[in-house]
Structure 1
Amino acid sequence: MLLALSAVIPASDTRAAGKLIAAILTCDLPRYREAHRAFMKALVQKGYDQSNVEVITQTPNPDPISWANSIRKFNAIGADLIVAYGAPATLTALHERVEIPVVFADVYGPVETGVVRSMTSTGHNMTGISSKVPLVTLIKTMAELKPMTTLGVIYSAKEEGSLAQLKEVRRIAAGTGTILVDVNLGSPSGIDTVLATLFSTKVDCIFVTECTSGSRGFEKIVHRASELKIPVISLIPGSAQKGALVSLEADPVEQGQMAADYAARILGGKKASQLPVATPKRVDLVINLKMAKALDLHVPFPVLTAATRVVK
């Protein structure tokens, strides 16, 4: 689905004249849209105008065939730069592109997902922004609010970023003796089924990975879980506002701004492979006091002190 066509380029850099930027969002989620808006705005703030570079933005259906078709279109029209939001779209760009440089954003664990070889040397004509945050902080914060014997995890087997989060939480759980119950959510229509599995095993908490289906059905997950006094935690940006008790969120706006900086450097002649993968500086630990009250949970003062944002 073609969403937008606009033009941006630094007027002072003639090497960028006539360039075409093609942006792909893994799916139509708020965090990707927010990052892309910040990307476009940052280009303007860097002195870009609407005269010499076209920016084509596509949000295909969230499936491998649609992602691949979008990248193939970008190849066919001769894009000079691809901007990819999310691990699935980024991996598709890696596999489908020819020699087009790629700047990615909102990729959890670029090394773990196979997007790059290392954070300092990508090994490809690609660079970008990692959205990885310390998942152990989220789990430990939740444990301070409510002891956890059994932790439920909702993930998607089709998304490498979601799988990377599942592997990490498995490692954390193994170190604390927490029993893990993980369920694969293939589509939003399967929410009732996966929740029934988690509820039947009497999980103490549910962690929703940054999978597409979990993001789309997040409010339903929270509603059903809260009826049974089960807290939900997540890394999904904006999840605390939607009812998560605790969230640890990398700022999509910052990621879009950083991606714009990399895009500008590449349009100016820099090789993408020469730019190390950047990491976010603005990461919020958010505590939802309103949800804590609804779940009859006390929030200790040290937890409130550690939080960077509070939802009341």
Structure 2
Amino acid sequence: MRKLKISLLLGMFSGILFALDITEAAGKKVFLLDSYDATYAWNMSEQTGVQAAFKDQKDVEIKVHFMDTKRNPSPEFKQDAGRKALEAIQAYQPDVIIALDDNASEYVIQQVKDIPAVVCGINKEPKDYQYGENVAVVIERHPFDQVIRLLKDLVPAAKKIAVITDDTKESSGAAMVKLKALAPKIKAQSNIDIVGYHEVGSFREFQTLVQSYQPGQPQAVDGLLIFAVHTLKDEQGKVVPHRQVIKWFIEHNQLPDLGVFDWGPQYGMLAAVTVSGYSQGFEAGKYALRILGGEKPGNLPVLDPQTGDVLLNLAKAEKLKIEFPLELISMAHTFDIMEALDPNFLETK
């Protein structure tokens, strides 16, 4: 019996492949290039979407390669990760590449001109990359206006918020550019001013900013929008595990906190309006199938999947004395606990 194998490369430095038998198949080969690592929930949901797109196929083999650039954000590491990914692609000789998130585009796909590719989770404008006609694009655009409007619905007196994120230029930097462009629309819709945009590199700076915006402080705001906290460094320049950052934040923040990723409400933030990583991967997988069927990547339009979810944390709402409307609860994904307050939270990867 022929079988489709999902070969999971557990890190760039490991030469061991673990194959998962998914369904009957053999033939075409897909190289699934992941910018990050298997502990990052967003890209794992993208991978789930890709695999769902291929679930009925019987002639496809998929190999997953992690670049691990979220936990190792230095330019030198990213360049080396790109070189190793290119070597892995050359050795595998795939029929199509599916690349997840911006680092895979910047350090790998721009240099690949002879193999069809689909990129997804792209925060920058496609024109910022030197894609060839061999590349189809699925972009990632976060619903910042919707999540801030949600804050206004939940806290009608809210007038000022601040935004804090890490300084990952490929994702956070690009997202902040788009948020600043949306600010006039947000002001018109919600009468909320964004009084601070902070892209920070260190955990200490993150802590200082969060504390400076709390109730009773001179620059207090009515809410915080947290985008990403995965590359903050300690005083020795080492990346602080994101769960450690989130645990500190959930324990110390007294404001309504919002985000655009599902981990926020899951771990204890009040609410999020998300882009679906699953949809990003699923649409990229569908594009890859069309390419394997003979369509040219350059003829496929840039795609912006609009599907997403509203997520609410009921325990956080109770703590803040905020009441969610029943109709909002009925349409949202809800969480009953704040996971970051669990004594074992830091033990989970």
Q: Which residue of 2 aligns with 1:196?
A: 208
Q: Of 144, 148, 153, which residue of structure 2 is paired with 1:144?
A: 153
Deviations 1:113-160 (A, max 9, x none): 7358xxxxx864212433324320111111222344432222344333
Q: Which residue of 1 aligns with 2:299?
A: 274
C-alpha distance in 1, partners of 2:59/2:281?
Answer: 15
C-alpha distance in 1, partners of 2:244/2:224?
Answer: 13
> Which residue type is aligned with residue 309 of structure 1?
H
Q: Which residue of 1 aligns with 2:178?
A: 168
Q: Which residue of 1 aligns with 2:58?
A: 47
What stretches of structure 1 of length at least 5 have no aligned partner? 117-121
| Residues 210 and 235, structure 1, Cα contact 8 Å, conserved in 2 | no
Q: Which residue of 2 aligns with 1:105?
A: 120
Q: Which residue of 1 aligns with 2:83?
A: 69
| Residues 262 and 311, structure 2, Cα contact 8 Å, conserved in 1 | no
Q: Which residue of 2 aligns with 1:263?
A: 288
1:127-142 → structure 2 map (5 Å cutoff): 127-142=136-151
Q: CA deviation at 1:247?
A: 0.7
Deviations 1:16-40 (A, max 9, x none): 94x4422221212112123213323
> Which residue type is aligned with residue 152 of structure 1?
A
Q: CA deviation at 1:253?
A: 2.5
Q: Which residue of 2 aligns with 1:119?
A: none
Q: Which residue of 2 aligns with 1:309?
A: 333
2:314 counterpart of 1:289: yes
C-alpha distance in 2, partners of 1:125/1:9?
Answer: 28
Q: CA deviation at 1:174?
A: 4.3
**Secondary structure at 1:46 match in 2:** coil
| Residues 86 and 106, structure 1, Cα contact 8 Å, conserved in 2 | yes
2:75 counterpart of 1:60: no
Aligned in 2, Cα 1:114/1:212: closer, same or farther, shift over 3 Å? farther
| Residues 150 and 203, structure 1, Cα contact 8 Å, conserved in 2 | yes
2:195 counterpart of 1:180: yes
Q: CA deviation at 1:236?
A: 1.4
Q: Which residue of 1 aligns with 2:346?
A: none
C-alpha distance in 2, partners of 1:95/1:281?
Answer: 26
**Taking every aligned residue pair, what percent have the same amino acid on both sides?**
18
| Residues 209 and 235, structure 1, Cα contact 8 Å, conserved in 2 | yes
Superposition RMSD in Å: 3.3
Q: Which residue of 2 aligns with 1:86?
A: 101
> Which residue type is aligned with residue 210 of structure 2?
L
C-alpha distance in 1, partners of 2:30/2:90?
Answer: 13
C-alpha distance in 2, partners of 1:80/1:9?
Answer: 19
> Which residue type is aligned with residue 207 of structure 1?
L
Q: CA deviation at 1:86?
A: 1.3
| Residues 22 and 74, structure 1, Cα contact 8 Å, conserved in 2 | no
C-alpha distance in 1, partners of 2:81/2:255?
Answer: 35
Aligned in 2, Cα 1:90/1:254: closer, same or farther, shift over 3 Å? same
Aligned in 2, Cα 1:211/1:159: closer, same or farther, shift over 3 Å? farther
| Residues 65 and 85, structure 2, Cα contact 8 Å, conserved in 1 | no
What stretches of structure 2 of length at least 5 have no aligned partner? 1-10, 213-218, 233-239, 337-349
> Which residue type is aligned with residue 113 of structure 2?
V
| Residues 108 and 130, structure 1, Cα contact 8 Å, conserved in 2 | yes
User: How many pairs does the alignment contain?
Assistant: 294
Q: Which residue of 1 aligns with 2:227?
A: 209
C-alpha distance in 2, partners of 1:103/1:57?
Answer: 15
Aligned in 2, Cα 1:163/1:142: closer, same or farther, shift over 3 Å? same
2:277 counterpart of 1:252: yes
Q: CA deviation at 1:104?
A: 1.9
Task: Give the alignment's TM-score, normalised by structure 1.
Answer: 0.78
| Residues 67 and 82, structure 2, Cα contact 8 Å, conserved in 1 | no
> Which residue type is aligned with residue 196 of structure 2?
V
